[in-house]
Structure 1
């Protein structure tokens, strides 16, 4: 009897001296009961007191893991809610902390719940998501699943695990079945990772006039209508998610955008960008072709996975791919112009030199596009898709998706500043060359000429041949053209050769660059 009274006196003294309440009181009772392991009577008394004191705490815990509700009028529960964080921020704020901080663990966690505190937190978060979706969560409660005590049989741990498994499975099923998570990710791949080729080609054709304007002069509404036309006119019309596609126009180049995203695992800096002098020509002449970007309407709760941050990463990849496509198209136009002279002797003329340079530039850009799409995006997508099939929780889905995006950003060179700046410089040279060729070399309507030659007289055909000879002679004698081609050839070769050692060196640390290095070396050999 005396030992029990002494134990109570010690307990009361400690509680009063430390002014304990809530989980601290439970921790004190629990530790004192363990300390009295040698005295069964005292231990039994303290365990009984612990059970009685924990009854209210169990009710709070039960509501959280079975309903996702915090019922804590005195602030004693170890999970806090930050009501200022709203789910809408996931689609608006790049640095949204909703999922990480809307519900969080406090410092005062009962010692016997330390190992499962994170599981308890996550269970309630999952239930909250479903409740905010209007999904009626029916947790089947039996006598065995009720949290009656924190006793030594650890029955409460089994209840918590069962509640977590239920909430996790229900939310994952809801996201995949009702909200078609995999379908939305596939749609993002189709448009933002340029898997839908016919849509992009048609859009670039009909939006060319608008995209060549300065960003501030572009009508986003007009671009959106052109996007809609392209979607309805191609195979994309059969995609039920195509109506969620939007568009926007950024105000800065891709490199400038990357410098503004401080959380990316790379070393971009404004000073380094200025010193490299890569972004200057593009900044001065920046148009919608460099700043156009597709967007996507992401509803709740899919915004947990495809957040503003995740969508921004998709858009970074899109801008790189889109601009590469634009450069390739411009070079193709320059190539077609020069093919107007293919029936004329061009040996030893600037036209021949220009044709060889154009071919090398096209090979470089197309090799880059091939690497980005078939060596990076496609295999990484299939890897992510396979892992998503076996994911067991929405947190695992988020982790897999974030890993996919980060890996794609890195392998697409977007997190490798030195390489990307060199690639951007090469693309800028290709664009300048293509523009110059279209201005310097007289355009010949080859198809029309050939069509007329079939029905025209021999005298007319001879006249057209003579005209082409005259145009070739004029082009050959054009000093400005000759000097321009030599200048572009020299700069392109120099930049390409400077890229080769950098790429070869990087491929030793980053094996995925090996294929790109081989492609680039192949271009260099052709020079």
Structure 2
């Protein structure tokens, strides 16, 4: 408590040292003097007192020097802030400097009312104490940025009162900021603010309303206490106004504020928030559970229904804005994400096991080692028995969950076996299968497509190559027809599909099988074209019999040979350079894969290569159109050959009936000559068209040699274009 005579001494010192009668300058100096004299953390020795008293003796009245000596004897030797008092009084004469400091310090609280005399200090202090303790005053109302009094206030210490009211506003902001903290992480951080607020109130509760003065209240609220109040206010305002989704990142942002108290308080809050975040990470990484009512965790469950092949990537997604700034290591984030995904994928697989057994009759012990209870039944806080979870543990649990998932998919489900079956049969990687299937369709009379498919499969394959060694499932049993026809289909209608169920559909879902179909249909067209060109004429010498009618058999045979050679060249390119090579690369990548993403990545790269190599992507659409023109031309030649075969059969029949059929007067002979002449013209036109088409197709490949696929195709096509005219 500062006695009234000591206050008078400070007033005189302010006037004397500043050597001015300016009211604002003197009031500012008095304020500094009161704070520093009362502040408990200012300690100066006897030497400082003597030094500054002698230094300023010419500016201080002699009577004041005596008073200073008395003050020195009165104050304890360990609390003698005369050095700081005198120095601050002198520095307060720099009016502009001090105004700048005060404006910067109190910029948040400038909208305060000017007070005019009515209430005395003794009357206003009890109201101030109520407000400081979080209560309500009968005479003073606090709004967002201003203070309103029903009765005007009398005091020459307006600056002191304003300082106190600014503290009141800070405490009000802290108290009312609770609604800005929503969620488990936010609640843990709010506990730090609440603890600070209780400390503030406990300090303020020491104020004696009957003996307190403005000076004593300001002295109590100065120093470290004021810094802590101000720090809590800044953080609460940032949380309230911040547009950053992550409250942890919002608090970390305040570390750049420049006030040490803000950094200290923010660090405590971030530590509390991280403890809760670590629980989120533990529950997800170890158990695959998300209990996140307020969407604070940076991993979220997508409520929209996802296709099976997109489940892994879209069911549980990463919210980038909620990742703390200091978790910058992408590998760690991906391990956290994929560890929980693995747990939930194993649960999904277990649920699909029953359906698999029902559909395919497997008696193997599926999912024995991958039993996972439903997420809703797991209580992580009760089940966790280990030490406090740390980020360093993520790698261990990630490795464990991923090992189980990889073993399941590689060995139990046998994804490589399914992919090989799809390659050999849907993509006709086994050429003998395509040949047998074509012959089955061509020679069959009953038109039972599934029976023909089964006959073709059994004719070319040893089931051991496609039998799962663990589950003993025969994968070729999954091959089926897209349609079942009631009449005999033509060869191009051999539409084969592959039956899948979870978790196989993660790799061979509906969309992926459609992509395989694009490539498979192209190869089937080529196989059909090859077989038709080979088998339409079992004996090419029959054409020589039509030479008597003027047919140019050698040109027809040459064109058939060129088209057949081109088709076989493209087939070799697709089956060897594209599919076989890409499949070998995928197998090698899958053997060394360490996580599920690596499996997806290897399969995705394989699909991309075969789609590009088979002209099924937009960048090679011109190749697709050009090559289909060649296939259409091959179909036209086949039609001409069938017509010639019909002419040949008619000639043989007529020759048996009429030995003089070859006379010019015979209408049949004349008609046969016209048909053969028309066939010759069509063969010549088809030959010219094919030459243009193969040249166009070659040039497209030559112009895109920057692509590895097109480079390989161009090399193979060189022999095809060598004989074009």
Do they superpose with TM above 0.5? yes
* Offset, 1:168: 2.3
Structure 2, unpaired ranges of 5+:
1-40, 42-222, 351-369, 374-379, 467-473
**Change in CA separation of 1:441 and 1:133 when aligned onto 2, cut-off 3 Å:** closer
Aligned residues of 1:496 and 1:524 also touching (Cα < 8 A) = yes
Cross-structure match for 1:130: 346
Cross-structure match for 2:416: 182
Q: Secondary structure at the match of 1:310?
A: helix
- Separation of aligned partners in 2, 1:72 and 1:226: 55
- Separation of aligned partners in 2, 1:165 and 1:90: 24
Q: Secondary structure at the match of 2:681?
A: helix
Cross-structure match for 1:423: 627
Aligned residues of 1:80 and 1:103 also touching (Cα < 8 A) = yes
Question: What are the equivalent positions in structure 2 for 1:500-519 lying under 5 Å apart?
Answer: 500-507=698-705, 509-519=706-716
Cross-structure match for 1:66: 286
**Change in CA separation of 1:414 and 1:24 when aligned onto 2, cut-off 3 Å:** closer
1:378 to 573, 580, 584: 580
**Change in CA separation of 1:11 and 1:159 when aligned onto 2, cut-off 3 Å:** farther
Aligned residues of 1:305 and 1:397 also touching (Cα < 8 A) = no
Cross-structure match for 1:152: none
* Offset, 1:370: 1.1
Cross-structure match for 2:686: 488
Cross-structure match for 2:62: none
Deviations 1:245-270 (A, max 9, x none): 123269xxxxxxxxxxxxxxxxxxxx
Aligned residues of 1:346 and 1:352 also touching (Cα < 8 A) = no
- Separation of aligned partners in 2, 1:425 and 1:210: 30
Q: Does 1:399 align with 2:612?
A: no
Q: Does 1:235 align with 2:469?
A: no
- Separation of aligned partners in 2, 1:293 and 1:7: 76
Deviations 1:317-357 (A, max 9, x none): 11110000001111112342423357998898512221111
**Change in CA separation of 1:388 and 1:475 when aligned onto 2, cut-off 3 Å:** farther
- Separation of aligned partners in 1, 2:294 and 2:695: 70
Deviations 1:252-294 (A, max 9, x none): xxxxxxxxxxxxxxxxxxxxxxxxxxxxxxxxxxx96556432
Structure with more relative contact order (C-alpha pairs < 8 Å, separation 6 or more): 1
Aligned residues of 1:337 and 1:441 also touching (Cα < 8 A) = no
2:304 to 66, 76, 84: 84
Aligned residues of 1:23 and 1:77 also touching (Cα < 8 A) = no
* Offset, 1:199: 2.7
- Separation of aligned partners in 2, 1:493 and 1:108: 62
Aligned residues of 2:694 and 2:721 also touching (Cα < 8 A) = yes
| CA RMSD, Structure 1 to Structure 2 (Å) | 4.1
**Change in CA separation of 1:142 and 1:346 when aligned onto 2, cut-off 3 Å:** farther
**Change in CA separation of 1:493 and 1:348 when aligned onto 2, cut-off 3 Å:** farther
* Rg larger for: 2
Q: Secondary structure at the match of 2:326?
A: helix
TM-score by length of 1: 0.73
**Change in CA separation of 1:209 and 1:80 when aligned onto 2, cut-off 3 Å:** farther
**Change in CA separation of 1:67 and 1:492 when aligned onto 2, cut-off 3 Å:** same
Q: Does 1:204 align with 2:438?
A: yes
- Separation of aligned partners in 2, 1:351 and 1:475: 15
- Separation of aligned partners in 2, 1:210 and 1:20: 78
Question: What are the equivalent positions in structure 2 for 1:437-516 lying under 5 Å apart?
Answer: 437-442=641-646, 478-507=676-705, 509-516=706-713
- Separation of aligned partners in 2, 1:512 and 1:75: 47
* Offset, 1:306: 2.6
Aligned residues of 1:176 and 1:182 also touching (Cα < 8 A) = yes
* Offset, 1:30: 4.7
* Offset, 1:46: 5.4
Q: Secondary structure at the match of 1:246?
A: strand
Q: Secondary structure at the match of 1:85?
A: coil
Deviations 1:225-253 (A, max 9, x none): 43233223432544310011123269xxx
Question: What are the equivalent positions in structure 2 for 1:105-504 lying under 5 Å apart?
Answer: 105-106=318-319, 107-115=321-329, 116-134=332-350, 135-136=370-371, 143=386, 146-147=388-389, 156-208=390-442, 222-235=448-461, 237-238=463-464, 239=466, 240-248=474-482, 289-290=491-492, 292-341=494-543, 349-415=551-617, 416-442=620-646, 478-504=676-702
- Separation of aligned partners in 1, 2:721 and 2:252: 73
